[in-house]
Amino acid sequence: MIAKKSLTLTVLAALALNPLVSFAASKMPLATGTGGAVATISEPATKAAMQILNQGGNAIDAAVAAAATLGVTDPFSCGIGGGGFMLIYLAKENRFISIDHRETAPRNFSPAVFLQEGKEIEFDTAVSSGMSVGVPGTVRGWHEALARYGTMNFKQVLAPAITTAEQGFAVSANFHHFNVGSEKKFAQFNSSSALYLKDGKALPVGMLFKNPDMGKAYRELAIGGVNAFYSGKMAAAILHTVNQPPTVNGVQVRPGQMTKADLLDYEVRLRLPIHSTYRGYDIYGLALPSSGGITIAEALNILEGYDTKSMSREQVEHLYLEASRLAFADRNAYLADPEFVDVPVTGILSKEFASERRKQISMQHASALNNPAAAGDPYPFQNDQSIPLRPLPVKTVLREESKHTTHLTVSDKDGNIVAYTYTIEDWGGNGMVVPGYGFLLNNEMTDFDFSGPHPNVPEAGKRPRSSMSPTIVLKNGKPAFTVGSPGGATIITTVLQTIVNHLDLGMSMDKALAAPRMSERNGSTTQVEPNFVGSPQALRLAPFGHQWKLADELDWEIGAASAITFNADGTVTAASEPVRHGVGSVLVQKPAH
């Protein structure tokens, strides 16, 4: 059943004309070979990473090169004006580390920053403003990654991105599609409309697009390093943009109050990842303030109690939806920045808590419709005397998160792996291009809950809860696969469903990525893609009583995943999005013949 009027002739017509439906002929979304491997959603970014690998760089060097190039070719989703999470596996040391360079709230923030006369301000008003901008963490994250775990410097790894920015590239159908989605936002700001609009409209397909100002920004980083971003002329330009937005005549938006100290004091966090197990595999994901690793682990713990190998596909998918619903109920109630909130992580991740949550699932029918699942009580399973209180789960309205992020994954010949998701949040971030430097600023502060009481309310220095979920999986102590995706809160379900498709349903990784996606986030309906509706898969699930809804016409896809599998014969298979986002791009160092 489809909620409301989700599937109309108008939507179908739009989908039929949508340029994202067609494959990009020059891209290869699947490749197998030896040596290093790269998977992104951008051919120039994939080539940039491979260039670095071929020059002797390792996976960390190549990941930064790819990310910098994505900032040029996919500027509406990511860039140095934002932040992210990098999950690294160091093969020789057999250890994991995650680099949290999530944006932080400026020091003027309080829980009431998005309230006016006691009421939440309009979401779109908050997005297109200086107050939505968190202190960017991307550049410092790249610096820490290269300094601690890389072999190259900024000058070397930024070179491919500089070339792409200065020489330009033809506007693709995919670039144009996302540009269209940002037209209204960009039209409010002089610097943005000058770069991304022509006569008030998105740049046309085929046009040669250059961004010399972004090339300038990268060149300054190549010369001055991380300090060129957080102090000096570039920092001054960022602060001026945030606090005095470059609006066109007559347009008024809320300014921010970011300070020099906010930029200078920004720090990354090196965190141990979340570790869980599933059917003999070791699953490594992100710790808080990302909710991805914990939510995926809890859902898998719930699913692990079922013998999925003896079940039909529709039974497994029904259980996937129900486990996701319960895990999201707990995510929404408890998870937030651990530096501000005592989160019962041990309890949520315990197998015993999963057994209790599993009791809420019926094998015959979906949970009560239009009645989101209540959060569970993980505190009896916490075994942590430092958390004496047991706060009641907070009931909140589920806000739709922005989905415009990017994910890439890289491995090198030595077995090091990087799974990296980073973002500027909404399509085009807050809509403001920093004049003279060509990059968009984030609107990550809108990832906070606008009102409380809630663990994820805004506070000075706090990092908003994220859904980013780069994941690396081991089997018998050796890498088995890595996967991640963009997509706001749908990141979690995309990664979770891909793992279920691969491990429980036995799909090859490319087929696991291609399968129609269902995103159940404890709402009254489950978000699905258009090609799912009316499919045999949907018809087989119909008896369980799930209700479906579609996203809007401009944003109908769920995720744009990338993965690498590590095969038993020593080869690697890189797989990027085979059907979405204009099709992904992969390369392996030594292709198999």
Residues labelled catalytic: 405
The SS3 call for residue 419 is strand
DSSP code of residue 504 = I
Specify which residues 573 forms β-bridges with.
32, 565
Q: Which helix (H) or strand (E) holds 66?
A: helix 59-73
Q: Whose CA is closest to 216, among 67, 442, 438?
A: 438
Q: Whose CA is closest to 579, among 497, 510, 521?
A: 510
Q: Are 529 and 493 in contact (CB under 8 A)?
A: no
CA dihedral angle for residue 560, residue 566, residue 570, residue 572, rounded to 10 degrees: 0
Rounded to the nearest 5 degrees, what angle is found at the Cα of 498, between the Cα atoms of 492 and 499? 90
Q: How far is CA 291 from CA 77, 286, 333, 467, in A?
A: 20, 7, 11, 5
Phi and psi dihedrals of 155, rounded to 5? -60, -40
| C-alpha 378: how far from chain center | 27
Q: Are 183 and 169 in contact (CB under 8 A)?
A: no
Q: Are strands 526-528 and 548-550 parallel, antiparallel or unpaired?
A: parallel
Look up residue 381 and give its amino acid. F
Q: Whose CA is closest to 501, among 551, 565, 585, 416?
A: 565
The SS3 call for residue 554 is helix
Question: CA 169, CA 126: separation in Å to the nearest integer?
Answer: 33
Question: CA 512, CA 29: separation in Å to the nearest integer?
Answer: 13
Q: Are 90 and 151 in contact (CB under 8 A)?
A: no
Specify which residues 572 forms β-bridges with.
33, 566
Residues 6+ apart with CB under 8 A from 591: 31, 32, 33
Q: Are 448 and 456 in contact (CB under 8 A)?
A: yes
Count CB-CB contacts under 10 A for residue 48.
Answer: 30
For residue 132, what are its two tokens? 């939505």
Residues 6+ apart with CB under 8 A from 236: none
CA R_g for the chain: 22
| C-alpha 465: how far from chain center | 12
Question: CA 189, CA 172: separation in Å to the nearest integer?
Answer: 24
Specify which residues 410 forms β-bridges with.
38, 418
The SS3 call for residue 552 is coil
For residue 296, what are its two tokens? 């995926």
